[in-house]
Amino acid sequence: SRSEIAYFGAGPAPLPTAALEKSAEALVNFEDSGLSLAEISHRSPTANKILADAKDALATLYDIPTDEYDVLFLHGGGTGEFSATVQNLVGAWIEKRRRKAVAELGEGKDAEVLDRVRREIEAELKVDYLVTGSWSLKASQEATRLLSAKYVNVAADSRKSNNGKFGKIPDEKEWKLTPKGTAFTYYCDNETVDGVEFPGFPKSLESTGGSEDDERIVVADMSSNFLSRKIDVRKFGVIFGGAQKNLGITGITVIIIRKSLLNLVPPPTFLHALSPVIPLSGAIPPIVFSFSTIAANNSLYNTLPIFNLYVATLVLQSLVSTWGSQKVSGQEAIADKKAALIYGALDAFPDTYHVVPNKSVRSRMNICFRIISGAQTNNEAVPDDGREKAFLAGAEKRGLLGLKGHRSVGGIRASNYNAVSEENAQKLAGYLVEFAKA
Ligand code: PMP
């Protein structure tokens, strides 16, 4: 039964049992209406209420200044946002320049405006990426696919100073950020596969107190540490995340976006005329990924999966009622405590366990480690496949599930998301000690 197992899957991930039970009821007969939530119109008052409740709860938890920021829900997962952030924000960058050119050159000077914007794109357009793990790497590769390499600046790549592997975040002094005027600067706050989490908001991306045009537009992928710590939303242009870790079930993506980035959509004919200076794929989102369109339609431009949203709404509301005035800081304290328990057990047995990432960037959400044989090559611990298999088999016997590392990196990964109870984190820590001693 559910109470006998402790699940540490990386995503889809465990959800609070109460939210699942209430959702299960709603899937068959929502609040005794005789209808399933999966059967009702996404434009019905019921659906609108679920959407409004989700937005309210999220705004409460993160202290979102709702006059300046909008919350959107859409399809496409985290991966959809790898593309959508590029297309929307590059489109916005172009539109700002187009408007400026029109203002300076005057109406009716279409050819001159086009020529000026083309030249500006060639000379100035950049998107900056901090590549600190598999997901930001994928995002940067998508940017290159859509825009071409010419416009993509990989400002940092953790592998360069770490034997070709992820596991640290390069010192900010080594970052090669474009000084100013980028369409956006992108990072992944928590790298799910590699167990690397930014300890906080990067200093180099802080506001410089300049004009809005001079400020960096920061895009952060928070798919795997959403709602696990306090953030200052005002530092970000766009925050996004797939739901299937800390928020709900897969099928919806959440976006928190600065409103001043909306409604900067170049006329399609203007974009078409820019080609071949810039590939159109880099500046025109499919309509279902157009942030301005989704925002203008309160996330109901097309059929939003209301049942999936409902699960998220329940999770959000339960966080609001659990933490009250502490808001997300309450959850942060528990996340820190559970992570400390598990890392504590790992660190106590350095002959058995090797935590993969550097200590200063250890993720509180995805705890990635190897089981070692004690031998060392080039000062590096050698993973012991046999011991790892034995560890996983023993874990399964004890009902500790979902611990196998990502197929691309192997090893063990314990995902410590919000719905993992302290009791289950304790069970895992207990098993880590027991295995190391045996
Ligand atoms: N970003 C991060 C940090 C992720 O962990 C994941 C998926 N695990 C993704 C993006 C991709 O999300 P999706 O599968 O929802 O497209």
Enter the ipTM: 0.99
Q: Using a 6 Å cutoff on CB, does residue 195 contact ligand 1?
A: no
Closest residue by CA, ligand 1 atom 12: 78
Per-residue pLDDT, 374: 73
Per-residue pLDDT, 377: 65
Q: Using a 6 Å cutoff on CB, does residue 188 contact ligand 1?
A: yes
Cα distances (angstroms) measured from residue 5 to each of 369, 402, 424: 21, 10, 9
Which one of 223, 254, 417 would you pick to mutate in the ligand 1 pocket, going by the greatest count of ligand atoms within 8 A of its CB?
Answer: 223
Architecture in CATH for domain 328-437: Alpha-Beta Complex (3.90)
> What's the 244 CA to ligand 1 centre distance in angstroms?
9
> What's the 99 CA to ligand 1 centre distance in angstroms?
35
Per-residue pLDDT, 161: 87
> What's the 359 CA to ligand 1 centre distance in angstroms?
23
Residue identified by tokens 């993509």 is: 152
Which one, of 295, 262, 267, 301, lies nearest residue 88 by Cα? 262
The domain made up of 53-309 is a member of CATH 3.40.640.10: yes
Q: Where in the chain is the domain with CATH 3.40.640.10?
A: 53-309
> What's the 417 CA to ligand 1 centre distance in angstroms?
14
Closest residue by CA, ligand 1 atom 10: 78
Q: Where in the chain is the domain with CATH 3.90.1150.10?
A: 328-437
> What's the 191 CA to ligand 1 centre distance in angstroms?
9
Biggest CA-to-CA distance, the chain: 80
Q: Using a 6 Å cutoff on CB, does residue 242 contact ligand 1?
A: yes
Structure tokens, 53: 């409740």
Q: Is 320 exposed, middle or buried (0-12, 13-18, 19+ CB in 10 A)?
A: middle
Ligand 1 atom at shortest distance from the alpha carbon of 10? 8
Closest residue by CA, ligand 1 atom 11: 78
Closest residue by CA, ligand 1 atom 15: 77
> What's the 79 CA to ligand 1 centre distance in angstroms?
6
Per-residue pLDDT, 376: 65
Q: How many C-beta atoms surround the C-beta of residue 364 within 10 A?
A: 22
Q: Using a 6 Å cutoff on CB, does residue 77 contact ligand 1?
A: yes
Q: Using a 6 Å cutoff on CB, does residue 135 contact ligand 1?
A: yes
Q: Using a 6 Å cutoff on CB, does residue 134 contact ligand 1?
A: no
Closest residue by CA, ligand 1 atom 7: 78
> What's the 241 CA to ligand 1 centre distance in angstroms?
8
Tell how far CA 105 is from the center of its chain: 41
> What's the 134 CA to ligand 1 centre distance in angstroms?
10
In this structure, are residues 412 and 356 in contact, taking their beta carbons and an 8 Å threshold? no
Provide the residue-wise pLDDT of the chain in tens; the chain has 438 residues: 999 999 999 999 999 999 999 999 999 999 999 999 999 999 999 999 999 999 999 999 999 999 999 999 999 999 999 999 999 999 999 999 999 999 999 989 999 999 999 999 999 999 999 999 999 999 999 999 999 999 999 999 999 989 999 999 999 999 999 998 999 999 999 999 999 999 999 999 999 888 888 889 999 999 999 999 999 999 999 999 999 999 999 999 999 999 999 999 999 999 999 989 999 999 999 999 999 999 999 999 999 999 999 999 999 999 999 999 999 999 999 999 999 999 999 999 999 999 999 999 999 999 999 999 876 666 677 999 999 999 999 999 999 999 999 999 999 999 999 999 999 999 999 999 999 999
